[in-house]
Amino acid sequence: MSKVIYLSDDRHPSSSQDRAPVAPPQPGEPLLDTRRRPLHDLRISVTDRCNFRCTYCMPREVFGTDYEFMPHADLLTFEEITRVARVAVSLGVEKIRLTGGEPLLRKNIERLVEMLSGLSTPAGRPVDLTLTTNGTLLAKKAAALKAAGLRRVTVSLDALDDTLFERMSDSQVTVQTVLDGIDEAARVGLAPVKVNMVVRKGLNDGQIVPMAERFRNSGHILRFIEYMDVGSTNGWNLAEVLTGAQILQRIGERFPVEPVHADYRGEVAARWRYLDGAGEIGVITSVSQPFCGDCTRARLSPEGKLFLCLFANQGHDLRALVRGRSSDEQLAARMASIWTGRDDHYSEMRGKNTASLHKIEMSYIGG
Ligand code: SAM
Ligand code: SF4
Ligand code: SF4
């Protein structure tokens, strides 16, 4: 298949392109969208490529050998990414997550980490810089990432059983490779490590309890993610979703848990802790209990489009501004205008006239 083209909003009648630029907020004042959600997080996808072909994200039938990934010249450079991030931080972003595709495949990613880790908020706090990875290259790169200023990592791992893991990731990588990456990340201080497990009913739900058992008392935080209808290629089906409540029930039958309160507005995972003190787990329930009301995240695609909702079908091109002669003030006014015009809340609308939307792929925008 040739590459999926994502539209930018340039001629979209209701887009915020038509809105007047908005003055950035005064220091200490949050930038609010139409639903009064503040801009707090920026997720930066640095590549649309990956060395896995997880069936729920990049099915090989679509992302095969003839799939056209983005040419390198289209990607934002590290300097361009850092400029957009710096402007986003001036608008209220306090937390940045690098993602992809597989972010550790981007050459010299530690250099980007170093550049971003130098950013600080208007109040003078360093940004909270994290990264999500499939873990295959983590054992090799964790020390350099830590030295470059990365704070923490999230590692995706859907099963402890090798055969099932290979089937889900459609790769030859062993579970031990990912576990080694997790251990090394914790050893160098990228902790606590969060471990993401996407649960697909009938496929890996038998791994919920073994995964819980494996990561209890480890200091790592295991998070169960409901299988989502992101993108248009994974053939998502509601029947394959095991809800957060069902996941918690299975864990609770074996290891009793109680809720923990969220640290900040916009935290995606509902947090729980084991009653016996063996640690914490998280459950991300975007299908069964949407959290759009607290969605404080913007997303930057590899070639510089700003997306807001994970389920959007079009982004707002910032690369033209970044590569043109626009000043940081003009870039800030454009980004502020995009955020303040935001109204999306897909997960609350799921199923209501949303079936025909051509949504962006998770491997392109990064979650
Ligand atoms: N390649 C990296 C990784 O897998 O960690 C980063 C990018 S990946 C797109 C980010 C996260 O999205 C991963 O934790 C992955 O499991 C999750 N994800 C991908 N497709 C998903 C889906 N259909 N439903 C729920 N989570 C999904
Ligand atoms: Fe790659 Fe991550 Fe998608 Fe799996 S979930 S195919 S590792 S981008
Ligand atoms: Fe945010 Fe969109 Fe997810 Fe709702 S569906 S939580 S608006 S990304």
- What is the rounded distance in angstroms from the CA atom of residue 105 to the CA atom of residue 148? 17
> Mean pLDDT over all residues of the chain?
91
Is residue 337 within 8 A of residue 31, CB to CB? The reply is no
Note the pLDDT tens digit of each residue in 123-179: 999 999 999 999 999 999 999 999 999 999 999 999 999 999 999 999 999 999 999
Give the CATH number of the domain where residue 277 resides.
3.20.20.70
- What is the rounded distance in angstroms from the CA atom of residue 241 to the CA atom of residue 200? 6
R_g over Cα of the chain: 20
Distances (CA, A) of 173 to 50, 144, 270: 13, 22, 30
Q: Considering the domain boundaries, does residue 247 fall inside one?
A: yes
Q: Which residues contact 325 (CB under 8 A, 6 or more apart)?
A: none
Number of domains into which the chain is organized: 1
Please state the φ and ψ torsions of residue 192, each to the nearest 5 degrees.
-70, 140
Segment 352-362 mean pLDDT: 72
Minimum mean pLDDT among 271-280, 300-309, 342-351: which range? 342-351
Could you give the residue ranges of the DSSP H alpha helices within 149-233?
A: 162-169, 175-188, 208-215
- Provide the 10 A C-beta neighbour count for residue 91: 22
Distance 357 CA to ligand 3 centre (A): 15
> 194 versus 13: which is more confidently predicted?
194
Q: Is 54 near ligand 2, meaning CB less than 6 Å away?
A: yes
Q: Considering the domain boundaries, does residue 221 fall inside one?
A: yes
Q: Considering the domain boundaries, does residue 58 fall inside one?
A: yes
Nearest to 39 by CA among 95, 120, 96, 93: 93
Q: Considering the domain boundaries, does residue 5 fall inside one?
A: no
Ligand nearest to C-alpha 153: 1
Distance 101 CA to ligand 2 centre (A): 6
Share of the chain above pLDDT 70, in %: 90
Distance 255 CA to ligand 3 centre (A): 31
Is residue 279 within 8 A of residue 273, CB to CB? The reply is yes
The DSSP bridge pattern shows strands 314-317 and 7-8 to be: parallel
pLDDT at 16: 40
Distance 181 CA to ligand 2 centre (A): 16
Segment 336-350 mean pLDDT: 91
Q: Which domain holds residue 206?
A: 16-22+37-365
Q: Is 57 near ligand 2, meaning CB less than 6 Å away?
A: yes
Is the pLDDT confidence value at 289 over 80? Answer: yes
Is residue 304 within 8 A of residue 246, CB to CB? The reply is no
Q: Is 234 near ligand 1, meaning CB less than 6 Å away?
A: yes
Is residue 60 within 8 A of residue 53, CB to CB? The reply is yes
Q: Which residues contact 196 (CB under 8 A, 6 or more apart)?
A: 132, 154, 155, 156, 157, 223, 225
- What is the rounded distance in angstroms from the CA atom of residue 175 to the CA atom of residue 163? 9
pTM of the model: 0.93
Q: Considering the domain boundaries, does residue 1 fall inside one?
A: no
Q: Is 46 near ligand 2, meaning CB less than 6 Å away?
A: no
Cα torsion 281, 286, 292, 293: sign = negative
Q: Considering the domain boundaries, does residue 41 fall inside one?
A: yes
Tokens 């935290």 -> residue: 267
Q: Considering the domain boundaries, does residue 28 fall inside one?
A: no
Q: Considering the domain boundaries, does residue 160 fall inside one?
A: yes
Is residue 300 within 8 A of residue 45, CB to CB? The reply is yes
Helix/strand/coil for 141 = helix
- What is the rounded distance in angstroms from the CA atom of residue 41 to the CA atom of residue 96? 6
Q: Is 302 near ligand 1, meaning CB less than 6 Å away?
A: no
pLDDT at 2: 46
Length in residues, the chain: 367
Minimum mean pLDDT among 175-184, 241-250, 316-325, 357-366: which range? 357-366
Q: Which two tokens stand for residue 339?
A: 């955020």
- What is the rounded distance in angstroms from the CA atom of residue 49 to the CA atom of residue 288? 30
- Kindly list the protein residues whose Cβ atom lies closer than 6 A to any atom of ligand 3: 286, 290-292, 295, 309-311, 344-347
pLDDT at 29: 83
